[in-house]
Amino acid sequence: MHPLYILLLWPLVLYTPSPSAADDTLKAGQALAAGDKLVSSNGKFALGFFRPSMISKSGTNIISPNWYLGIWFNRKPVCTPVWVANRENPITGPNLKLTQLKISQDGNLIVSLSNATESTIIWSSTHLVNNINRSTPTSALLLNSGNLKLVVVLVESPSNATLWQSFDYPTDIVLPGAKFGRDKATDLNREAISKKSLIDPGLGSYTIKLGANGMVLTRRNPSVVYWHFFNWPSPKSVVKVIQLINMTLGINPRTQGLINPIYVNNNEEEYYAFTLLNESASTYFSIDISGQVMINVWSEAGQSWQSIYANPLDPCTPYATCGPFTLCSGNLHPYCDCMEGFSHKSPQDWDLDDRTGGCIRNTPLQCTSKKNTINSTDKFHPIARVTLPYEPQSMGNATTQSECAEACLGSCSCTAYSYNSSGCSIWHGELLNVNLNDGIGINAQDVLYLRLAAKDLPSLRNNKRKLNIGVVVAASIIGFGLLILIMLLMIWSKRLKWCGASLHGTQGSGGIIAFRYTDLAHATKKFSEQLGAGGFGSVFKGVLSDLTTIAVKRLDGARQGEKEFRAEVSSLGVIQHINLVKLIGFCCEGDKRLLVYEHMLNGSLDAHIFESSALALNWTTRYQIAIGVARGLSYLHHSCHKRIIHCDIKPHNILLDASFVPKIADFGMAAVVGRDFSRVLTAFRGTVGYLAPEWLAGVPVTPKVDVYSFGMVLLEIISGRRNSADVHSGTGSSGHVEYFPVRAIRKLHEGDVQTLMDPQLHGDFNLEEAERVCKVACWCIQDNEDNRLTMIEAVQILEGLQEVGLPPMPRLLAAMTQSSDGAS
C-alpha cells in the first residue's frame, strides 16, 4: 500500500427504522427487532441490525447475504460500523424477522433467533452476575460516545453498576473515549481485529493489542509480529504517544487540536486512549484489512472519510498482506499483484480487498517421480530486488547456483530458490511475504527464482507467439496498407497538427494519458486560472470531466520546451512513488506541448517557508517533508530501473498535497543514468544557490549533485530563509558577513543549533530532530562528492535508524564567506 489517502466506504442497507425505536435505552422486557434502532441522545450513533454492501469498481452494488447487530455513525451519508456483535455468527436473510436483541433473565444482553418450537442464542454479552440482585432493573444504554453499556440499578447506590460495555470488546475500530489496553484485575486485554473484507466484518488476518513491551501489530495465522508502536513502560512513553499523535495531525495543520492522547499505567490497569477536543468532530482509529493502523477523520467538504495517517507507512510491511504467490509494492496501484504465471484465486475476493487467498498457478508444475529419479521440464523465472519468502530451507550441500536450482527441481513440492552470499535456500509450498523494492520501506536486493511450468515462462511464451513466415508476410502487406491509410488521414487532418493519441483517456507510454488540446483548454477554462510560472512555461488549474482536479503546465518556446517535454515524459512518465508528483498525461499537437499533473492543493514548499503571507509550517510538518523528499530522491537514485538525476532540487520544485505530503516535481532537467554507469556528461543545468561544485567544474555528474541540492534545501527548511541571503554576525554595518550554510556548520559544532531555527517556530521544535536534520544537511553539501551521504543513508539518519558524526567545514563555502568579508 505506499500511499497515503484512503476513502473508507462501507454503505449499509438498513430496514426503515420505526419511529418508536428512536430511543437510547433498551429496558428489561423490551426487544429490538429488525427495522428498529437505538439512537444516542446526541444523535451521533445508532444501534440496530444492518447488512454491509459496497460499490465495486465496475459500478455493481455488492450486498452481503448476511445481517449483523452493530453500531454505526448515524448522521453520515457514508455509514461506517464502529462495533459489530455477531462477527463470526451472522444472521441469514430468512431468519432476520425472527431475530431480536433483548435482555435475558440472567441479565445478559442477547441476540436470539426464536420460532414456534425453539430459541437459539446467536450472540450474548458475557459478565458475572452472581453478586447482582436478579430482581433489580437492568437496561442497555447507547451513550453519546458510541459505547453500548449494560447497566443494573443498585438499590443501595444512587449510581448504576456497569455489567458489560461494547468498548471492552472492540472490533476493528477504536472510538474516542475507549480504553485500549488491559485490565490487570480481570486480565481483560482489549484487542482490535481487522475485518475479512468490505462486506464481511468477520475476524480478519491482523490484530493490534497492548503487549508486554508496548503496542504491537500481529498477523494472526500464522502468528507473526510485524510492527511495534511504543516501547512501554519507559520514562518517555507518554511523550512518544503524544509525539506520534502530533506528528500524525501535524501533517495537516487544519486538524491540529483535534484529539488529546492519554496513557495510564497503575496497579489496576494499563491503557491508551484519546479524547476529542472538538465534540462535533468525527474521528476514529482502525486496523485496516491490509494490516495498517489508520486515523480517520470525517471531511464535511468531501462528505467522506479521509485517512490522515497510516502506520506502518509502507502497505507491504504487514506480514503476507497480499496472500500467497503475490508481489507487493507500495508504488503500485493497487499495491498487490500476482507473480508471473499466476492469477487471482478469487477475483471477487480481491475486489472486496480480501487477498488472503492470494494467487494460484495458471499451469501445474510438470514434475513426476520415478524411483530415485526426478524428471522435470519446469523452468525458473527470476524476480529481482525482492524480500525473500517466509520459512526458507537452507541447502548447505548446494555450493553453486546451478546446484541450488537442481536441489529445487529435485523435489516436486519446491516452488522457488535463491542463491546469494549466504548460500542456497529453497521454498516448499506457498510463497508468502515477497515484496518488491519500493523505496518507501522495502529496500531489498535479493533475487528469487520462481519455479514455473515451461509454458508459463515469459521467454518461451513469447517464442510460441512468433508468427510463421506466411503470417508475417500477410501482416506486412496489411500493415503497409494501413500505413498508407494513416498517411492519407494525417494529410487530410493536417490542420489539427496532431501527434500522438488524440482522445481523452487514451493510454500513452507508461500508462499516462494523451489529451487533446481542446480538452485541456476546456478543462482549464481556456487557461484562465494560473497557479504559477517558471522558466519553461506556466501552470494552470483545471478540472476534468470526471471532476479530477489537475495542474496543466503549458510549455513555452518550441526548442527548449520540447527538450523539457521529452525529459519529463521519459522520466516521470514511467515511475511512481508517493513522494514524486504524478504525471497524468500530456498533449502534443503541432507546436503545443502540455503536461498534465495531479493537482497539489498546498502549492510549493518555497511559498510556505519564504513568504510571510503563506501558512507557517510547524516543526513536525517540516521534518516529515524532509524525510519525504529524501525518500523520493532515494527512489530516483537507487530503486528505479535506470537511475534518474533530477538536477534541479529546490523548494520551488517540491510540491505539497492536501496533507502536506511532499512530492518532487519538475523533471524537465532530469538526466537518466544507466545502471552500468556512475556518471553522465550533461549540459550545465540547475539553479544558483543549489548547484554542486562539480557543475561549475564541467565534469560528468553523479546523483550526488541532487544530494548537494537536498542539503541546501534542508537548511532552508529549518531556518525559514534563503541560504543566499546575507547573515550578519556582530553589530552595525561593519558586522561580519557570513554565508548561512557556513554558519550552520559552525553552530552545529558549537552545539547551538537553536539559533539556526526559523523564528516562526517560536522555539517549538524537537532539538534532537533539528540537530539530525542539520547534520544531514551539512554532510550533503560537502565539496568532495565522495564525502556526501547517499540518499539511502540520508533517509536512514533522518528516520533515526543510523547515527552520523559532525561534518567538516567545506572549504569552498568557507572561501565564499571570506570573499564576502573582503567585499564588505
Contacts within 8 Å (CB) and 24+ apart, 145-148: 145/40, 145/45, 145/175, 145/176, 145/177, 145/178, 146/40, 146/44, 146/45, 146/71, 146/82, 146/83, 146/175, 147/175, 147/177, 147/178, 148/47, 148/71, 148/83
Structure-block grid coordinates of residue 811: 572549504
Residue 425 backbone dihedrals phi, psi, to 5 degrees: -130, 140
Using DSSP, state whether 740 is helix, strand or coil: helix
Tell me: cis bond preceding 17? Omega within 30 of 0 counts: no
The reply, when asked if residue 553 is annotated as ligand binding, is yes
Cα of 589 vs its chain's centroid, Å: 36
- Number of other residues whose CB lies within 10 A of the CB of residue 703: 25
Structure-block grid coordinates of residue 777: 544537511
Rounded-to-integer distance, Cα 518 and Cα 502, Å: 10
3-state SS record for 276-331: ECCCCCCEEEEECCCCCEEEEEEECCCCEEEEEEEECCCCCCCCCCCCCCEEECCC
Residue 502 CA: distances (Å) to CA of 498, 517, 584, 747: 7, 9, 15, 57
Rounded-to-integer distance, Cα 711 and Cα 637, Å: 16
Q: Which is it for strands 662-664 and 654-656: parallel, antiparallel or unpaired? A: antiparallel
**In sequence order, which residues have a C-beta less than 8 Å from that of residue 366 and are 6 or more positions away?**
376, 377, 378, 453, 454
Give exposure, 166-205, as e/b (b: 16+ Cβ within 10 Å).
bbbbbbbbbbbbbbbbbeeeeeebbbbbbbbbbbbbbbbb
Element (H, E) at 804: none
Rounded-to-integer distance, Cα 631 and Cα 314, Å: 12
Structure-block grid coordinates of residue 463: 517464442
Catalytic residue annotation = 648
Check if the beta carbon of residue 73 is closer than 8 Å to that of residue 79: yes
Structure-block grid coordinates of residue 796: 536512514
Rounded-to-integer distance, Cα 790 and Cα 704, Å: 7
Structure letter (DSSP) for residue 429: S
Using DSSP, state whether 220 is helix, strand or coil: coil
- 295: nearest Cα among 284, 282, 280, 279: 284
Place of cell 450486498: 63
Query: Is the four-CA dihedral 361, 366, 368, 374 of positive or negative sign?
Result: negative
DSSP assignment of 748-783 equals: HHHT-GGGGS-GGGTT-S-HHHHHHHHHHHHHHT-S
Using DSSP, state whether 425 is helix, strand or coil: strand
Residue positions forming the annotated binding site for ATP: 553
